[in-house]
């Protein structure tokens, strides 16, 4: 009788969780569609009857839930029409869930990254994991030893282990003395159980010339398909206005990178505003990104280590000596600015991926 009651409770809890997830999903989809409609109207985008019919003809092979609004908006923003632009709502509710196993989302924890990847990464000063302090070798240390390591380093960047989308929660700090440093950690990270403290990467001079205050990273989207990792799309993320981070949420912009490593002519902000030049004056057109091929090769090599996440966005810096440095990876990525900058995310793989997901 007791076991039967437990099974009933578990079934009821499962039902409530699924119902709550469904409600949240519907709210998210409504918000995405509403925002896109507003953006389409504000930017005075247009679409011909023939283009709308072409979009509907293409997508009805896979799903009845596609709205041509998304393809029309991306065509307007990117500047070239293509039926293969991915819609934001289906990307978040169907595609990511299919390609990436959310049971392994814990692997995006920044404190685990040094263990996962055998490549060059920012040097770890110390970590706080579930309230305990560890050095770069994952050995338990005291809080006093952690503060000593920070003081020895001088200036470092502190990142929450999770939920740092758009640079949220990341802090740069130049340690002066133990008392001030202790107060800084208590004030900004006292309620955060896990975070990592890293030395700041000294970037390539050619990238520093764009915007010196921020480490300007390449974001490479990779996909595991046909037994290999491929690089789908790459953008250069750049800080602006003196910000220390290159995230769009802090005023940064992105510019698409062509296959030969040269930047495209136009960059974009988070809401799709276009920039012919960087706000600090840098001209994008024809700029050759240093070590571009090495960055792509690193992203593809590391992607093969994470089979449970087939679609990954990698942030990779280029150090002073020209070597790629893995900053972090994200298993959701940002669809918007990728398609603004470079066109349909899946490119020539679109038919194959959509057939796998929807058919």
Q: Kindly report, residue by residue over 42-100, the tens digit of the pLDDT.
A: 677 888 999 999 999 999 999 999 999 999 999 999 999 999 999 999 999 999 999 99
Q: Is 8 helix (H, G, I), strand (E, B) or coil?
A: helix
Q: Residue 1: is its pLDDT beyond 80?
A: no
Domain count, the chain: 3
Residue 118 is assigned to a structural domain of this protein: no
What per-residue confidence (pLDDT) applies to 238? Answer: 94
CA distance 294 to 156: 26
Lowest-pLDDT choice from 131-135, 164-168, 172-176, 300-304: 164-168
- What is the 3-class SS of the chain, one letter each residue? CHHHHHHHHHHHHHHHHHHHHHHHHHHHHHHHHHHHHHHHHHCCCCCCHHHHHHHHHHHCCCCCCCCHHHHHHHHHHHCCCCCCCCCHHHHHHHHHHHHECHHHHHHHCCCCHHHHCCCCCCCEEEEEECCEEECCCCCEECHHHHHHHHHHHCEEEEEECCCCHHHCCCEEEECCCHHHHHHHHHHHHCCCCCEEEEECCCECHHHHCCCCCCCCCEEEEEEEECCEEEEEEEEEEECCCCCCCCCHHHCCEEEEECCCCEEEEEEECCCCCEECECCCCCECCCCECCCHHHHHHHHHHHHCCCCCECEEEEEEEEECCCCEEEEEEECCCCHHHHHHHHCCCCHHHHHHHHHHHHC
* Judgement on whether residues 87 and 211 belong to the same structural domain of the protein: no
- For tokens 């990592």, the residue is 196
Residue 117 is assigned to a structural domain of this protein: no
Contact 15, 23 (CB under 8 A): no
Contact 189, 207 (CB under 8 A): no
* Judgement on whether residues 343 and 317 belong to the same structural domain of the protein: yes
* Judgement on whether residues 107 and 211 belong to the same structural domain of the protein: yes
Q: Residue 342: is its pLDDT beyond 50?
A: yes
What per-residue confidence (pLDDT) applies to 15? Answer: 40
Q: Residue 25: is its pLDDT beyond 80?
A: no
- Domain of 38 in residue numbering reads as 2-99
* Judgement on whether residues 284 and 261 belong to the same structural domain of the protein: yes
What per-residue confidence (pLDDT) applies to 298? Answer: 98
What per-residue confidence (pLDDT) applies to 262? Answer: 97
What's the rounded mean pLDDT across residues 239-263?
A: 89
* Judgement on whether residues 349 and 243 belong to the same structural domain of the protein: yes
Query: Among residues 162, 182, 199, which one ends one of the domains?
Result: 199
* Judgement on whether residues 184 and 240 belong to the same structural domain of the protein: no
CA distance 135 to 190: 18
């Amino acid at each position: 009788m007791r076991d039967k009651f437990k099974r009933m409770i578990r079934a009821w809890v499962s039902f409530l969780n699924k119902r709550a997830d469904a409600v949240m999903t519907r709210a998210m989809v409504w918000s995405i569609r509403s925002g896109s409609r507003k953006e389409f109207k504000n930017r005075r985008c247009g679409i011909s009857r023939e283009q709308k019919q072409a979009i509907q003809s293409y997508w009805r092979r896979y799903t009845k839930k596609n709205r041509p609004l998304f393809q029309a908006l991306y065509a307007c923003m990117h500047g070239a029409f293509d039926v293969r632009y991915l819609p934001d709502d289906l990307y978040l509710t169907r595609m990511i869930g299919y390609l990436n196993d959310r049971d392994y989302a814990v692997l995006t924890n920044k404190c685990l990254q040094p263990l996962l990847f055998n490549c060059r990464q920012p040097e770890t000063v110390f970590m706080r994991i579930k309230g305990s302090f560890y050095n770069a070798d994952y050995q338990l240390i005291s809080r006093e030893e952690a503060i000593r390591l920070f003081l020895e380093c001088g200036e470092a960047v502190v990142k929450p282990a999770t939920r740092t989308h758009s640079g949220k929660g990341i802090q740069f700090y130049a340690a002066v003395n133990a008392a001030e440093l202790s107060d800084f950690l208590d004030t900004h990270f006292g309620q955060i159980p896990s975070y990592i403290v890293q030395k700041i990467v000294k970037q390539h001079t050619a990238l520093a010339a764009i915007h010196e205050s921020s480490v300007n990273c390449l974001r490479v989207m990779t996909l595991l398909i046909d037994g290999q990792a491929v690089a789908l799309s790459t953008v250069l993320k750049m800080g602006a206005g003196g910000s220390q981070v290159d995230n769009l949420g802090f005023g940064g912009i992105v510019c698409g990178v062509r296959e030969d490593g040269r930047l495209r002519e136009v960059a974009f902000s988070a809401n799709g505003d276009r920039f012919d030049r960087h706000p600090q004056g840098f001209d994008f057109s024809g700029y050759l990104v240093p070590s571009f091929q090495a960055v792509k090769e690193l992203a593809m090599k590391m992607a093969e280590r994470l089979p449970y996440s087939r679609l990954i966005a990698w942030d990779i810096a280029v150090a002073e000596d020209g070597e790629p440095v893995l900053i972090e990876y994200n298993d959701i990525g940002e669809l918007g600015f990728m398609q603004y900058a470079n066109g349909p995310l899946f490119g020539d793989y679109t038919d194959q991926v959509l057939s796998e997901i929807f058919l």
